[in-house]
Amino acid sequence: MQHEAIPEIQAATTLEALQTVKTKYVGKSGLVTRELGTLGKLPPEERKARGAEINAVRQAIQDALDTREATLRREALDAQLASEAIDVTLPGLPLPSGGLHPINRVYDDLTGIYERLGYTVVEGPEVEDEHHNFEALNVPWYHPARDLQDTFWLEDGRLLRTHTSPMQIRYMTEHEPDLKIVVRGKVYRYEATDATHESMFHQLEGLVVGDHISMADLKGTIAEMARGLYGPGAKVRFQPSYYPFVEPGADFAVYWDNPRGESKWLELGGCGMVHPSVFKAVDDLREAQGKTRVYEGKTGFAFGLGPERIAMLKYKIPDIRYFYANDPRVIGQFRGEL
Ligand code: FA5
């Protein structure tokens, strides 16, 4: 029987085929098992020898089964590994990745410049009260900016800040001079949109307060920013302008030259020397909170600009509304750029 079983075992090429052979010989009603069952019919003196004989056969078959099973399992594993082998010469699949929004990249450029000049970067609330957004900034009740037409008012009397300047008030109420900060964040205006105006946009606000701060410091700072953005050849231009929270006030533009020979003045934002009424409003707020009055008699400058303008030129985006339309054809171009 062993002589038949062993070649059958060797011939089994799958685990299923091997199981069939196993059942045939050593299963519950297999040939060897049945043979053992016949022992009882033998005369007692033959039983022992015959029993040992059959057990030896069963053991030999079982050993052969085990060996073959191990071989088949190893072969199956080898085949599986071979079929799943990684071809390291195949080009990789590109991983989809995000990217920084162009406005954030411009912000990073700008705050990088100011951090190197020792400024602290802060953010503030987008929902503001009238006092911080207008009154404390010396914007009178009859100023057109306070009109319903220009401000998104909330039902509770608060508003969406129309500029980042209210953070001047918040920061000075909390901190004593000397200070140098830039504020980054979103602002909102209820106005018709066009290629250069959005109802939600961004600003970068700067505020420096100390002793003997002058207009020359302001101009030097804006010039330093322009050089940081557009290289050593960048020029800046200041034109008198009016903002209630500064005196004197100015608008500033940067003359930028690029290798393609396109060069022009880019109107960036407003600036000026902090108005004494603003320092007084801050001291009033501080006093109401039990803090000391420390701002009257100080000097400082402030500026505010729109990073969208810089990003539109830098990335050749012709319409400000593309930044926030969530069109993957636009934003997708900034994938992977960090
Ligand atoms: C202000 O908002 C002042 N708070 C700036 C300031 C700060 C002056 C500190 C003096 C001292 P203005 O409304 O001009 O100023 O806006 C500043 C800049 O924001 C503009 O130069 C422009 O770059 C940008 N901006 C204004 N309105 C929009 C708009 N609708 N869409 C996109 N950018 C805008």
In this prediction the ipTM stands at: 0.98
- Read off the pLDDT of residues 150-184 as tens digits, 9 standing for 90 and up: 899 999 999 999 999 999 999 999 999 999 999 99
Q: What's the pTM value of the predicted model, to 2 decimals? A: 0.74
Closest CA to 121 of 71, 185, 177, 67: 185
Residue 243: CB within 6 Å of ligand 1?
Answer: yes
Name the least confident of 15-19, 161-165, 197-201, 319-323.
Answer: 15-19
pLDDT at position 148 over 80: no
pLDDT at position 257 over 80: no
Buried b (16+ CB within 10 A) or exposed e, 147-169: eeeebbeeeeebbbbbbbbbbbb
Q: Give the type of residue at 69.
A: E
**In this predicted structure, what is the pLDDT of residue 87?**
82
Residue 201: CB within 6 Å of ligand 1?
Answer: yes
Residue 198: CB within 6 Å of ligand 1?
Answer: yes
Q: 202 CA to middle of ligand 1, Å?
A: 9
Residues 6+ apart with CB under 8 A from 218: 208, 271, 272, 273, 301, 303
Residue 246: CB within 6 Å of ligand 1?
Answer: yes
Name the least confident of 105-109, 272-276, 281-285, 333-337.
Answer: 333-337
**In this predicted structure, what is the pLDDT of residue 34?**
86
Q: 269 CA to middle of ligand 1, Å?
A: 6
- Which residues make beta-bridge pairs with 251? 239, 270
pLDDT at position 277 over 70: yes
Token code pair at residue 173: 């109420």
Give the residue whose CA is nearest to atom 32 of ligand 1.
Answer: 197
Residue 270: CB within 6 Å of ligand 1?
Answer: yes
Q: Which helix (H) or strand (E) holds 148?
A: none
